[in-house]
């Protein structure tokens, strides 16, 4: 198979997802896990199925090849968010070590599946190092920003540098804020979603000044997410191709800003599958090939 994940905005040709039937399974399973996983509220499984079906329909219409992870008893509800446990490069996959302890089995489960479809595993981040995919933002195919926070540490980044020698020219470390504390899912991608090489959806109040200034220096224009749309995941936008993106319905100001910048926007209802679970459209997907 062909693979390359060293982009945030190239056209998605192949993508990895996991259906709620394989990850969440039932309302009883959700009820047994959501509190321990620090979800803000208990998702309604029936609504999850409906919301995901609408999201899935958009992805299957826009992406040539969609892979779905199988059910795996070693992982929990969070395994529906396939973006975080693995990093995809031009030479294959790097398995992460998750900063959230409940997600520690997920990288191996994903790695097993990727090998079964022909993608090599070129390495893994090993403890005490930790990295989650939501802390990785590619500026281009040889420049990557990595958030340093509660889910990703400098030891993990040091290992990433070694594993990507010859693939990446520059790894830029970006300190993350404390936010609401270590139990919150705060990633670098919680404050930025690139939608083209020169356009990104951002939530500036969470950005450290040097990172925001770096983006401006690189010529990246901003679609600013208003405060009232941050908690509804207005900043979590998945680019399917340059200026073609998916977001959660209801973030009207952010959507209007994207459309004003020339973007085509697809929406799905995500109250239960995304907002209550803590993972938007980017989190629900792991692009395996962008061109």
Residue range 244-275, pLDDT digits in tens? 999 999 999 999 999 999 999 999 999 999 99
Q: What is the mean pLDDT of residues 71-86?
A: 98
Q: How confident is the model at residue 185 (pLDDT cuts 50, 70, 90)?
A: confident
Pairing of strands 238-241, 244-248: antiparallel
Q: In whole angstroms, what is the distance from residue 117 CA to residue 96 CA?
A: 19
User: pLDDT tens digits, residue range 114-129?
Assistant: 999 999 999 999 999 9
Q: What is the pLDDT of residue 183?
A: 83
43 C-beta neighbours (distance < 10 Å), count: 24
CA 247, 50, 63, 21 dihedral sign is: positive
Q: What is the CATH number of domain 12-290?
A: 3.75.10.10
Q: How confident is the model at residue 180 (pLDDT cuts 50, 70, 90)?
A: confident
Q: In whole angstroms, what is the distance from residue 22 CA to residue 30 CA?
A: 12
Q: What is the mean pLDDT of residues 131-150?
A: 97
Sheet holding 264-268, edge to edge: 238-241, 244-248, 264-268
Q: What is the pLDDT of residue 184?
A: 85
Q: How much helix, strand and coil, in percent to the nearest 5, is found in the chain? A: 30, 25, 45
Nearest to 167, CA basis, from 90, 87, 86 = 90
Alpha carbons within 13 A on the beta-carbon side of 230: 15
* Per-residue tokens: 111: 């790695």
CA distances from 291 to 4, 5, 241, 287 (A): 8, 9, 9, 11
Q: In whole angstroms, what is the distance from residue 65 CA to residue 62 CA?
A: 9
Q: In whole angstroms, what is the distance from residue 144 CA to residue 121 CA?
A: 20
Domain boundaries, the chain: 12-290
User: pLDDT tens digits, residue range 194-238?
Assistant: 999 999 999 999 999 999 999 999 999 999 999 999 999 999 999
Q: In whole angstroms, what is the distance from residue 95 CA to residue 161 CA?
A: 14
**CA-only gyration radius of the chain, Å:** 17
Q: How confident is the model at residue 243 (pLDDT cuts 50, 70, 90)?
A: very high
Determine contact, residues 172/144, Cβ cutoff 8 Å.
Answer: yes
Determine contact, residues 261/223, Cβ cutoff 8 Å.
Answer: yes
Nearest to 143, CA basis, from 236, 246, 221, 215 = 215
Q: What is the pLDDT of residue 181?
A: 87
DSSP helix/strand/coil, 194 = strand
Alpha carbons within 13 A on the beta-carbon side of 45: 17
């Amino acid at each position: 198979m062909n693979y390359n994940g060293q982009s945030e905005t190239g056209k998605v040709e192949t993508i990895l997802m996991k259906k709620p039937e394989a990850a969440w399974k039932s309302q009883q399973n959700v009820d047994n896990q959501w509190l321990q996983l620090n979800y803000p509220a208990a998702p309604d499984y029936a609504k999850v199925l409906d919301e995901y079906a609408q999201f899935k329909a958009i992805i299957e219409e826009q992406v040539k090849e969609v892979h779905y992870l199988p059910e795996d008893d070693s992982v929990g509800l969070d395994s529906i968010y396939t973006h975080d446990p693995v990093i995809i490069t031009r030479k294959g996959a790097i398995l992460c070590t998750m900063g959230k302890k409940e997600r520690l089995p997920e990288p191996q489960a994903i790695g097993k599946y990727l090998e079964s479809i022909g993608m090599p595993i070129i390495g893994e981040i090993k403890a005490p190092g930790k990295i989650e995919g939501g802390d990785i933002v590619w500026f281009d195919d040889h420049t990557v920003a990595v958030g340093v926070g509660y889910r990703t540490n400098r030891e993990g980044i040091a290992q990433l540098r070694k594993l990507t020698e010859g693939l990446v020219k520059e790894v830029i470390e970006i300190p993350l804020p404390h936010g609401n504390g270590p139990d919150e899912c705060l990633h670098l991608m919680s404050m930025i979603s690139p939608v083209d090489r020169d356009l990104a959806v951002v939530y500036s109040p969470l950005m450290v000044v040097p990172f925001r200034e770096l983006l401006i220096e690189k010529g990246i224009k901003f679609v600013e997410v208003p405060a009232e749309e941050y908690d509804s995941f207005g900043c979590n936008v998945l680019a399917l191709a340059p200026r073609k993106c998916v977001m959660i319905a209801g973030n009207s100001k952010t959507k209007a800003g994207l459309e004003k910048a020339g973007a085509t926007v697809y929406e799905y209802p995500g109250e239960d599958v995304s907002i209550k679970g803590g993972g938007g459209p980017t989190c629900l997907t792991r692009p395996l090939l962008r061109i």
